[in-house]
Amino acid sequence: MPDAIFADPRLARVYDAFDGARDDLDLYVGIAAELRAKSALDVGCGTGCLGTLLADAGLTVVGVDPALASLELARAKDSRVTWIHGDATTLPSLQVDLATMTGNVAQVFLGDDWEATLRGVRAALRPGGHFVFETRRPEQRAWEEWARAEPRVRGGVRQQLELLDVSLPFVSFRHSYRFTDGSVIASDSTLRFRSRPEVEQSLVRSGFEVVDVRDAPDRPGREYVFVARKVSVGPASTRRP
């Protein structure tokens, strides 16, 4: 079940304003070019920011998200992209060159749903296709900054971030939005912070080879960007950059 921040229509409409400039997406567009990808699947596509950029770069793009309110905004942005309401485990038959997960998407999977998602992504890739995603480094303790977050206002809407619980590997927090009519909508979220070895091992178990682990240029030293390749048969091996 998607969090209200993505699924509630009023919150979805202000999401992009609070998310700000998506400089983080340039990395994904660059990797798509580096890999000479012609087609892509964006898992957890949200309001469609990356899907639109990839379509601008000439790729055939599919975006999938379980939050219908966000997906409807994506559909209004770009008709070139095939937008699917669902998740990586319910996709139609695909054979794309590249699959992506940006932002916090990889961390919203708290248990067995993570490897189920990896298997779904693998099935959607052509043989030798690549999967690129980011995840926060647990040792950077991002939640400590969240605990000190100041309110933000965009278009008259006030957002407050509140840290609720830290029980590693799980961190829970709440976004509260106060609208100009005085109404308040809260959205609770939980992320799982996985170590680099834990992520790499889960990828190998799910039929990927880790070919690179990069830094996120927009947040240096704070995130891992994994580049994994679908392997056809046999055990996958891990090569560290």
User: What percent of the chain is modeled with pLDDT above 70?
Assistant: 96
Tokens of 239: 């090569």
Tokens of 138: 């647990």
pLDDT score, position 218? 87
**98-122 pLDDT tens trace:** 999 999 999 999 999 999 999 999 9
The ranges assigned to domains in the chain are 4-138+194-230, 140-192
**34-77 pLDDT tens trace:** 999 999 999 999 999 999 999 999 999 999 999 999 999 999 99
pLDDT score, position 136? 97
Q: Rounded to an integer, what distance in angstroms lies between the CA atom of residue 93 and that of residue 112? A: 22
Question: Pick the residue with more confidence: 1 or 139?
Answer: 139
Q: Quick one: pLDDT band at residue 1, thresholds 50, 70, 90?
A: confident
- What's the CATH code, domain 140-192? 2.20.25
pLDDT score, position 236? 41
- What's the CATH code, domain 4-138+194-230? 3.40.50.150
Lowest mean pLDDT, pick from 42-46, 87-91, 149-153, 237-241 = 237-241
Which residue bears the tokens 């990069």? 214
Q: Quick one: pLDDT band at residue 233, thresholds 50, 70, 90?
A: low
The helix-helix angle for 49-56 and 25-34 (nearest 10°) equals 40
**158-176 pLDDT tens trace:** 999 999 999 999 999 999 9
What one-character-per-residue DSSP string does the chain give? ---HHHHSHHHHHHHHHHH---TTHHHHHHHHHHTT-SEEEEET-TTSHHHHHHHHTT-EEEEEES-HHHHHHHHHH-SSSEEEES-TTS--S--EEEEEE-TTGGGS--STHHHHHHHHHHHHEEEEEEEEEEEE-GGG-HHHHHTTPPPEEETTEEEEEEEEEEETTEEEEEEEEE-TTS-EEEEEEEEE---HHHHHHHHHHTTEEEEEEEE-TTSTTTEEEEEEEE--SS-------
